[in-house]
Amino acid sequence: MSATNNVKEHDSSTTIRTDFERVDAKVVEAARNVPAAALHEAGGKIGVLPTSIRPVAPGFRICGTAFTVHSPGGDNLWLHRAILAAKPGDVLVVYANGAYDHGYWGEVMTTAAKVRGLAGLVIDGCVRDADLLEQIGFPVFSRGLSIRGTGKDYGAIGWLNAPVLLGNTTVEPGDLIVGDRDGVVAVPRARASEVVAKAAQREIDEAAICKRIEAGETTMQIYGFH
């Protein structure tokens, strides 16, 4: 829809925010090889996004700062706006108003996001062009695949960088987002440095425990279970 159809266009600038603080780049780099599950546990079982949001291709891994998008259902105009407004290293985290069964994202948008240096897409909805997305290599996490098309309603209100609720987790712009085959975790920006350090240590500790098990100890002995 457009003004030519007697529909008033929404002034998108009134619901777009770009001046937010992001997780420090050194913290993002330190998190790059830390599993999502380790971050969730190290933070006190925090930040789990819906388990139905999975990588489109098995090898996809995502790590970057959240650039949040609240999109009207069945419409992807605000995702196009987000690609343009986001910065290199940002992960688009998209709430699609509960309208899951649309292909909000495909080959063209993936190419555009990759060219702009974005770090990935996490969407509480579906995408399409799965084979091409895998070939391009830009990490996309979604609820699934759908060929159902989307619209571009210039009168519909959306938001860039307002908090979004995905499942039981509120994602704020600038939060740390990490995703792998096990799932996606959002770590609050203010805690990211602490949680990443704890998660890295957790990985070291668990590797040592596995060596003890290989040497003959049991999990019951090591953890003092009874």
pLDDT digits (tens, 9 = 90+) for 61-71: 999 999 999 99
Length of the chain: 226
Q: Count of CB atoms within 10 A of residue 32's CB?
A: 11
195 within a domain of the structure (yes/no): no
pLDDT value of position 157: 94
pLDDT value of position 7: 60
33 within a domain of the structure (yes/no): no
Do the beta carbons of residue 3 and residue 70 sit within 8 Å? no
Going by the DSSP 8-state scheme, the letter that residue 156 receives in this structure is: S
59 within a domain of the structure (yes/no): yes
Annotated binding residues for substrate: 106-109, 128
What pTM does this model have?
Answer: 0.93
29 within a domain of the structure (yes/no): no
pLDDT value of position 8: 79
pLDDT value of position 225: 94
Going by the DSSP 8-state scheme, the letter that residue 101 receives in this structure is: S
pLDDT value of position 13: 84
Q: Which residues of the chain have pLDDT under 70?
A: 1-7
35 within a domain of the structure (yes/no): no
What's the total number of domains in the chain?
A: 1
215 within a domain of the structure (yes/no): no
Give me the domain span that covers residue 56.
14-23+45-188
200 within a domain of the structure (yes/no): no
pLDDT value of position 12: 82
User: Going along the chain, which residue ranges are E strands?
Assistant: 54-55, 62-70, 90-95, 120-124, 126-127, 140-142, 144-145, 159-160, 164-166, 169-171, 176-180, 183-187
pLDDT value of position 126: 98
- What mean pLDDT, rounded, does the chain reach? 95
Annotated binding residues: 106-109, 128-129
Distance, CA of 161 to CA of 79 (rounded, Å): 12
Annotated binding residues for Mg(2+): 129
CATH number at residue 111: 3.50.30.40
pLDDT value of position 163: 97
Do the beta carbons of residue 87 and residue 224 sit within 8 Å? no
Do the beta carbons of residue 140 and residue 163 sit within 8 Å? no
pLDDT value of position 5: 52
158 within a domain of the structure (yes/no): yes
pLDDT value of position 3: 45
